[in-house]
Amino acid sequence: MLLPSVAALFVFLSIPRQMKNYLATGMLFLAIGIIRLQQNWLAEEVGWPIALLVAGVLVMLVAARYAAVRNLLARLLRPVR
């Protein structure tokens, strides 16, 4: 559980800083961790790989439009006067 958790944290922290090498390395370790979880603990489960696939697509879309998403969230979270 620790490998995919740390790898996901590594990936999400590298997105705003646009560190492409760290993003690629984090994605590799995340994939390894997910595969090991699937083989060892979650061999009988079907729904979670599909949820991971959907989450991955959403993360890709957010990463591709990071500045626009950040500005939208800043506007939404700004206190109303």
Q: Which domain holds residue 68?
A: 2-77
- Give pTM, 2 decimals: 0.44
Domain count, the chain: 1
Render each residue's pLDDT in the chain as its tens digit; 81 residues.
777 777 777 777 776 666 666 667 777 777 787 778 777 777 777 777 777 778 878 877 887 788 888 888 889 888 776
Which of 50, 26, 49 has its CA nearest to residue 38? 49
CA-nearest of 36, 4, 11, 35 to 25 is: 11
